[in-house]
């Protein structure tokens, strides 16, 4: 701005007419006066800390020794920081694109649905929740145990309809007499012929989970021309002797027992009685195997391990998208509203399909707005920290780590590696610069 411009806006008061030099001095003073509060705050809270951090990054963790770029070397040799670099790259590659896409879809769809205000509010509300609280909420939602985590509880409810839990889901064989796994069914190792007695002892069944109506287990008498046997809870307080039917040990009623021939083909099946006994009558001579089918041991849904090592980063990312989709939707929605309706109408009149209108007209016209959302998201995810801390349990923090998170961990969680922390911060700042430049350029272009 020229000095004359300022003088017309702020004409000199009743003071004596000033010399030309005084005029230029005063012409500087006024804008400076307006800028001073902001400049002061920026210097104290942004510029000084930034420079101090850069300077600090050249010193050892205790701050007593100049180490040059050693701290920067540590960034690329520390295993956890390498994971963090990888995760940060994933965040930058996936999230801005995903958030923009989801926001665009919501914004376009929301114009066409009834109750669009209600929909907008429900998508936007997560943005009003602090990111840390969001993390706490999702940590609970993601719990593996369906009794604790809402997501796995939902899946369990659906799965429960599809596949039923076995009567003895926790049971295990009590001795080596049974082979196989509960998941694949348990088979007596030794073959039995007609007149033989099969004993199938099971343990790891809670007293409260024994099927109703069970009675003291009985070792049945041998059966002429048939095979008899017992399935029982081979446990009494203190343990008892494995593989032996003893007092206080109860039979397991309602268990389906299969008789298989030498080729493991099922030839008969029966169910156990209240004392756990069963019998196959009229069995031709030969050697047979007695087995309990896997359906008896069918496991209830144990829950997906969302917070485990392999899914933790996608899980955190999903929570992030949940939060920011609303922001993207609102910004893009505003851009949509600004698109001239007649252009769209003209395209439709010319016979363009809805998809073509979206592809060829809406998206190109929205490009500047989409760029805003995209670049804002890049800057947002580069510094992601609070969600990682809140969602990841200690056991998978390593796999979820991001640069900002490791910076906090190394410097402030009691490890006091301030040199390394300062180096990570400076490195993050370097990563920000290209996106800041893009943003500033765009502002300038818009100003023109």
Partner 1 sequence: MRKHRFILLALLVALLAVLAAGCGSDDDEGSEGGAATTTTAATTEEEAEDEPVSGTISVLAVWTGAEGEAFQAVLDGFTEENPDVTVNYKSAKEPATVLSTAVEGGNPPDIAALPQPGFMTDFAQRGALKPIDFAEDAIKEGYAQSWLDLGTVDGELYGLFFKGANKSTVWYNVAAFEDAGVEPPESWEDFLAAADTLKASGVPAYSIGGADGWTLTDLFENIYLRTAGPEKYDQLTAHEIPWTDASVKEALTEMGKVLAADNIAGGTSSALQTDFPTSVTQVFADPPKAAQVLEGDFVGGVIGDETKAVAETDYNVFAFPEINDSGPVVVGGGDVMVMFKDTPAGRALIEYLATPEAAEIWAEKGGFSSPNKNVDTEAYPDEFTKQTASELANAETFRFDMSDLMPGAFGSDALFTLLQDFLKAPDDIDGITQKLERAAASAFKTP
**Segment contacting partner 1 by CB under 8 A, of 39-47, 90-98, 170-178, 345-353:** 170-178
Among 47, 136, 334, 440, binds partner 1 (CB under 8 A): 136
**Segment contacting partner 1 by CB under 8 A, of 215-223, 276-284, 362-370, 415-423:** 415-423
* Residue 175 interacting with partner 1 (CB under 8 A): no
* Residue 444 interacting with partner 1 (CB under 8 A): no
Task: State how far the Cα of 349 lies from the Cα of 341, in Å rounded to an integer.
Answer: 12
Q: How far is the CB of 65 from partner 1 (least distance, A)?
A: 7
Supply the DSSP symbol for 360.
I
Task: State how far the Cα of 424 lies from the Cα of 147, in Å rounded to an integer.
Answer: 40
Using the minimum distance from each CB to partner 1, give the nearer residue, 116 or 413.
Answer: 413
* Residue 252 interacting with partner 1 (CB under 8 A): no
Q: Among residue numbers 309 through 348, which ones bind partner 1 (CB under 8 A)? A: 309
DSSP-assigned states of every residue in 160-192: HHHSPPPTTTT-EESSTTEEEETTTEEEESS-B
Binding-residue pattern over the window 288 to 307 for partner 1, x denoting contact by CB under 8 A: --------------x--x-x
Asked whether the beta carbons of 235 and 249 are under 8 A apart, the reply is: yes
Q: What is the number of other CB atoms lying within 10 angstroms of the CB of residue 373?
A: 24
116-124 and 312-338 helices cross at what angle (nearest 10)? 140
Among 160, 239, 314, 434, binds partner 1 (CB under 8 A): 239
Q: How far is the CB of 390 from partner 1 (least distance, A)?
A: 5
**Segment contacting partner 1 by CB under 8 A, of 47-55, 356-364, 396-404, 440-448:** 396-404
Q: What are phi and psi of 75, to 5 degrees?
A: -60, -40
DSSP-assigned states of every residue in 300-316: PP----TTSTTTHHHHH
**Segment contacting partner 1 by CB under 8 A, of 13-21, 61-69, 107-115, 117-125:** 61-69
Task: State how far the Cα of 340 lies from the Cα of 246, in Å rounded to an integer.
Answer: 86
Count interface residues toward partner 1 (CB under 8 A).
52
* Residue 398 interacting with partner 1 (CB under 8 A): yes
Q: What is the number of other CB atoms lying within 10 angstroms of the CB of residue 290?
A: 25
Q: How far is the CB of 408 from partner 1 (least distance, A)?
A: 8
* Residue 258 interacting with partner 1 (CB under 8 A): no
* Residue 260 interacting with partner 1 (CB under 8 A): no
User: Kind of pairing, strands 289-292 and 185-188?
Assistant: antiparallel
**Segment contacting partner 1 by CB under 8 A, of 135-143, 222-230, 255-263, 315-323:** 135-143
**Segment contacting partner 1 by CB under 8 A, of 276-284, 329-337, 340-348, 391-399:** 391-399
**Segment contacting partner 1 by CB under 8 A, of 21-29, 257-265, 271-279, 404-412:** 404-412
Q: How far is the CB of 415 from partner 1 (least distance, A)?
A: 4
DSSP-assigned states of every residue in 39-91: HHHHIIIIIHHHHHHHHHTTB-TTSSSB-TTHHHHHHTT-HHHHHHHHHHHHH
Using the minimum distance from each CB to partner 1, give the nearer residue, 235 or 427.
Answer: 235
Task: Give the torsion sign (CA, 21, 22, 25, 27).
Answer: negative
- Where b means 16+ CB within 10 Å and e means fewer, 311-326 reads bbbebbbebbbbbbbb
* Residue 156 interacting with partner 1 (CB under 8 A): no
> What separation in angstroms does the CA of 305 have from each of 15, 91, 141, 315?
77, 21, 12, 10
Residues ≥6 apart with Cβ < 8 Å to 105 = none
Q: How far is the CB of 145 from partner 1 (least distance, A)?
A: 6
Q: Among residue numbers 190 through 209, which ones bind partner 1 (CB under 8 A)? A: 203-209
Supply the DSSP symbol for 218.
-
Q: How far is the CB of 414 from partner 1 (least distance, A)?
A: 4
* Residue 68 interacting with partner 1 (CB under 8 A): no
* Residue 389 interacting with partner 1 (CB under 8 A): yes
**Segment contacting partner 1 by CB under 8 A, of 22-30, 84-92, 408-416, 431-439:** 408-416
Task: State how far the Cα of 71 lies from the Cα of 291, in Å rounded to an integer.
Answer: 64
Residues that bind partner 1 (CB under 8 A): 60-63, 65, 132, 135-136, 139, 143-145, 170, 172, 174, 203-209, 234-239, 302, 305, 307-309, 386, 389-390, 393-398, 408-410, 412-418
């Amino acid at each position: 701005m020229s000095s004359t411009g300022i003088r017309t806006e702020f004409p000199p008061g009743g003071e004596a007419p000033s010399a030309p030099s005084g005029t230029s001095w005063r012409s500087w003073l006024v804008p400076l006066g307006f800028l001073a509060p902001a400049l002061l705050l920026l210097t104290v809270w942004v510029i000084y800390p930034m420079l101090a951090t850069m300077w600090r990054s050249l010193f050892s963790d205790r701050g007593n020794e100049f180490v040059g770029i050693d701290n920067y070397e540590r960034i690329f040799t520390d295993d956890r920081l390498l994971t963090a670099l990888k995760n940060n790259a994933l965040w930058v590659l996936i999230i801005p694109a995903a958030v923009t896409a989801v926001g665009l879809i919501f914004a376009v769809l929301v114009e066409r649905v009834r109750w669009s205000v209600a929909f907008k509010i429900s998508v936007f509300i997560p943005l009003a929740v602090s990111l840390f609280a969001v993390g706490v909420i999702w940590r609970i939602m993601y719990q593996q145990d369906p009794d604790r985590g809402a997501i796995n509880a939902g899946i369990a409810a659906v799965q429960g309809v599809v596949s039923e839990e076995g009567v003895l889901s926790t049971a295990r064989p009590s001795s080596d007499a049974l082979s196989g796994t509960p998941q694949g069914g348990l088979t007596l190792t030794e073959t039995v012929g007609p007149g033989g007695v099969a004993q199938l002892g099971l343990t790891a069944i809670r007293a409260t989970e024994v099927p109703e109506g069970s009675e003291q287990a009985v070792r049945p008498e041998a059966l002429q021309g048939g095979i008899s046997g017992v399935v029982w809870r081979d446990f009494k307080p203190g343990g008892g002797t494995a593989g032996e039917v003893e007092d206080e040990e109860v039979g397991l009623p309602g268990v389906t027992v299969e008789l298989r021939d030498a080729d493991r083909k099922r030839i008969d099946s029966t169910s156990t009685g209240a004392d756990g006994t069963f019998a196959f009558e009229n069995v031709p001579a030969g050697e047979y195997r007695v087995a309990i089918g896997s359906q008896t041991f069918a496991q209830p849904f144990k829950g997906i391990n969302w917070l485990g090592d392999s899914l933790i980063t996608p899980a955190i990312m999903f929570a992030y998208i949940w939060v920011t989709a609303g922001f993207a939707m609102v910004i893009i929605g505003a851009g949509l509203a600004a698109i001239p309706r007649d252009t769209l109408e003209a395209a439709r009149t010319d016979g363009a399909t809805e998809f073509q209108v979206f592809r060829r007209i809406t998206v190109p016209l929205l490009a500047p707005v989409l760029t805003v959302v995209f670049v804002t998201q890049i800057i947002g995810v580069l510094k992601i920290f609070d969600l990682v801390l809140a969602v990841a349990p200690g056991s998978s923090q390593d796999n979820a780590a991001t640069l900002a998170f490791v910076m906090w961990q190394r410097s402030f969680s009691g490890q006091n590696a301030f040199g390394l922390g300062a180096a990570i911060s400076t490195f993050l700042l370097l990563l920000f610069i290209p996106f800041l430049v893009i943003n500033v350029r765009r502002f300038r272009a818009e100003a023109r």
